[in-house]
Amino acid sequence: MSILAALNVYHDDDSSRCAAMNMAIDEGLLERAEIPSIRFYRWGHAALSFGYFGRFADVANYAARRDLVRRWTGGGIVSHGDDLTYSIVIPANDAAFSESTMSIYEKVHRALRDALGSNSPELATVAAVCDCRIQINSAVADRRYNDCFANPVRADVMVNGRKVAGAAQRCTRAGLLHQGSIQHVDLGNGLAERFASELSDRCSPKFLDERVIERAQEIAAQKYGTVAWLQKR
């Protein structure tokens, strides 16, 4: 059963956007959303995003090689460049917003699991997460290590014991922002379209309009593109 009654689908093919602008567009869509939306985007350059509560000191060494940005959502470190990144916005006036964030997280990943299909994906269980973390902790001496794709959490998407999709969320009065990354699987062959169709039976293709882009440019200049935001912790 679809989790969203209707869904606007944005295929953002502009791979030249900097990391700050990509985060700002997601926030801009959250501000303006009237019905749920999903935005798919790829990266034309190496980038790295890290969670709102993350420490800049843990990613500073990547600055010379990757475009760094602090997300508004939580979670760990995610490398971008070879992944398919997506953001889902659920406005506060939508029925799905009344569900718990964990419930939405799991349902979104169930939809992605079904879209992946032939890869035999599964959702991470509590037991699998604990086992994976034991292995990581025994192999990694630096306990600050927090690569998101090396540390699955409950309901992340796994293929053959490897995490292939994770996400982070931010809940505001305007609605819910769910930002996710899909890696280590075939990202073509209509995956994005199947994923959107699993989320809703009523998908409508949309294009980012100038008002969203202009608002995102303001947000990027005031927030995601600033040193104060990047290094706030």
Length of the chain: 233
SS3 assignment, position 46: coil
171 carries an active-site annotation: no
Delimit the domains of the chain by residue range.
7-230
Q: Mean pLDDT for the chain? A: 90
Query: Which of the four pLDDT bands, split at 50, 70 and 90, describes residue 130?
Result: very low
Q: Given this model, what pLDDT does residue 192 score?
A: 97
Is pLDDT of 231 > 90?
yes
> What CATH number labels 7-230?
3.30.930.10
Q: Residues with Cβ < 8 Å from 214, sequence gap 6 or more?
A: none
Is pLDDT of 140 > 50?
no
Q: Given this model, what pLDDT does residue 146 score?
A: 58
Is pLDDT of 131 > 70?
no
Q: Given this model, what pLDDT does residue 230 score?
A: 98
104: tokens are: 């939405």
Q: Which of 18, 130, 148, 203 is catalytic?
A: 148
Q: What is the pTM of this model?
A: 0.89
Is pLDDT of 21 > 70?
yes
Tens-digit pLDDT profile for residues 145-164: 457 787 789 999 999 999 99
Tens-digit pLDDT profile for residues 177-216: 999 999 999 998 999 999 999 999 999 999 999 999 999 9
Tens-digit pLDDT profile for residues 81-119: 999 999 999 999 999 999 999 999 999 999 999 999 876
189-223 in b/e form (b: 16+ CB < 10 A) is eebbebbbbbbbeebeebebeeebeebbbebbeeb
Is pLDDT of 143 > 50?
no
Q: How many CB atoms lie within 10 A of CB 117?
A: 11
Beta bridge partners of 38: 9, 88
Q: Given this model, what pLDDT does residue 139 score?
A: 32
Q: Residues with Cβ < 8 Å from 127, sequence gap 6 or more?
A: none
Greater confidence, 4 or 134? 4
Counting other chains too, the contacts that 96-99 makes at CB distance below 8 Å and 24 or more residues apart are: 96/3, 96/4, 96/5, 96/36, 97/175, 97/176
Q: Do 62 and 158 form a contact (C-beta atoms < 8 A)?
A: no
